[in-house]
Amino acid sequence: MTSAVQPVILCGGSGTRLWPMSRAGFPKQFLCLTGTDSLFQQAVARLGKLGAAPYIVCNEEHRFLAQEQLREMGVTQATYLLEPLARNTAPAMTLAALAAVQSGTDPVLVVTPADQTVTNTEAFGQALQIAIDDASQGHIVILGVTPDKPETGYGYIQSARHSEERSEQTIQSQKVLKFVEKPNLETAQKYLSEGNYFWNAGMFVVKASVWLAALNNFRPDIAQACQAAWTAKKQDGQFVRPDKDLFAQVPSESVDYAVMEKCPGSSQSIHMVPLDAGWNDLGAWDAVWNVLPKDDQGNAHTGDVLCTDSRNTLVHASSRLVALVGVSNLVVVETPDAILVVDKSLSQDVKHIVNTLTAQKREEHTLHRKVHRPWGWYDSIDEGGRFKVKRIQVKPKASLSLQKHHHRAEHWIVVTGTAEITNGDKVLTLTENQSTYIPLGEVHRLANPGSIPLEIIEVQSGSYLGEDDIVRFEDVYGRSK
């Protein structure tokens, strides 16, 4: 008898190799890189047929991004397990298992990363159901992607059955012999020819109690630290927060290293179900090029692009015209505040640029020029030594926090909609073409009481204009900074 099923979406990761589109404040899983849905939305949709409301395991910082993208899909029922800091996938999966057990059931967890694509959803569903049935019997099950090339960027799973033993018509669960690290090209070619090696896609299917028992067996330090942080958790509606100080003591480890690679040869059985469904993890820009539609010259272009005598290029233009003449195998990614140009074969090395930005403490590592907030967004359109100009949009019935700044004053001009403004002990209503001034140090709030988006232009002036110059007194979204 098949157990109840609990979808789990892991939303961690920063996607550094997809900079400048992917940034710490808006990582790749929330981007629309293929089609009109984000990778996160695609992951939720793939597991939507399982019926249960998903567990979303994500960083505290990204909770409103995830919630808003689910709202766009019409998904209102979800539980958000918020990691106060990143501790890799084993603790993230353990939070989901603890939440499932606490609910009074012992469901099969169907765990998938939020940053992958699958083009054949029917084949994915078939493989997933086989994995669920197998996991219901107490096995740990992993989905292994059938390789179509000698890929050196993935870890591999060796199964007990070779290609000549596998039916072309029937997908079957197979015993896992071992996990192997990312190989060199010669070894990857050998794996492909042998036929019983599969890519490790990081998708796991296992009963909550089985996972917790395996973790206690192989990594009791992670299990105990996660349990302590979970026991001291706080809950605010759909948001569940493990204790931050206790979670900081959880060792950082992946699911593979903590448990999976230790299972072969132990008392804990681990099986694999082959997955041949057009899977891709979009780990770097060359992978994005692989999955996008291309013209006759192999060019994949998004946005305003003109191209002459160029081949096998990827261009993503966000805000202006990009023109190519006589180039090949280039990736060009244009955003309002940064442009990346890289040889497609060196896409993995983009992470070195991000490391440099981080070391130099540049904002281009963390934020886009346009920054999304739970109440709307702002776009920093100009900046000088003692001024900054922002375009701000506030959703209908939404409001910013009641706040003040130590180092800047602000001028607000309403462009469209109606603004309700708290300015010290005064509350005033402004409409199109009206303006007000917020003195340095004054407590203030911007709200949209109307039914259409409110847009304003904000001009900041002062000695320091950083986003950390903010003191919040009240906030409907529970933010403290």
Rounded average pLDDT over 96-115? 94
Enter the DSSP assignment of 14: -
Amino acid at 229: A
Calpha distance 446→449 (Å, rounded): 10
In the chain, the N- to C-terminal Cα span, in Å, equals 49
**Burial class of 389 by CB neighbour count within 10 A (0 to 12, 13 to 18, 19+):** middle
pTM across the whole model: 0.88
- Average per-residue pLDDT for the chain: 92
pLDDT exceeds 60 at position 72: yes
Q: What is the pLDDT at residue 283? A: 87
pLDDT exceeds 90 at position 73: yes
The dihedral sign for the CA sequence 172, 177, 178, 184: negative
Calpha distance 153→171 (Å, rounded): 25
What percentage of the chain has pLDDT greater than the value 70? Answer: 97
Q: What is the pLDDT at residue 438? A: 96
More confident residue, 460 or 283: 460
pLDDT band of residue 169 (cuts 50, 70, 90) is: very low
- Model confidence pLDDT, tens digit, residues 120-135: 999 999 999 999 999 9
Domains assigned to the chain: 5-280 (3.90.550.10), 286-354 (no CATH), 370-474 (2.60.120.10)
Nearest Cα neighbor of 376 from 355, 362, 395 is 395
Q: What is the pLDDT at residue 162? A: 52
Rounded average pLDDT over 456-479? 91
pLDDT exceeds 70 at position 97: yes
- Model confidence pLDDT, tens digit, residues 335-389: 999 999 999 999 999 999 999 999 999 989 888 889 888 999 999 999 998 999 9
- Model confidence pLDDT, tens digit, residues 417-446: 999 999 999 999 999 999 999 999 999 999
Residue whose entry in the numeric block shows the structure tokens 């709202």: 71
pLDDT band of residue 170 (cuts 50, 70, 90) is: low
Q: What is the pLDDT at residue 218? A: 96
Contact between residue 479 and residue 375 where contact means Cβ atoms under 8 Å apart: no
- Model confidence pLDDT, tens digit, residues 311-335: 999 999 999 999 999 999 999 999 9
Q: What is the pLDDT at residue 165? A: 47
Nearest Cα neighbor of 82 from 10, 23, 7, 6 is 10
Q: What is the pLDDT at residue 167? A: 46
| Those residues with Cβ within 8 angstroms of residue 79's Cβ, 6 or more apart along the chain or in another chain | 53, 54, 55, 56, 99, 238, 240
Q: What six digits make up the tokens of 367?
A: 């934020």
Rounded average pLDDT over 148-154? 87
Contact between residue 150 and residue 192 where contact means Cβ atoms under 8 Å apart: yes
- Model confidence pLDDT, tens digit, residues 224-275: 999 999 999 999 889 999 999 999 999 999 999 999 999 988 888 899 999 9
pLDDT exceeds 90 at position 411: yes
Q: What is the pLDDT at residue 456? A: 97
Q: What is the pLDDT at residue 61? A: 87
pLDDT band of residue 152 (cuts 50, 70, 90) is: confident
Integer-rounded Cα radius of gyration of the chain: 25
Nearest Cα neighbor of 6 from 90, 112, 83, 92 is 112
Q: What is the pLDDT at residue 387? A: 95
Rounded average pLDDT over 455-475? 93
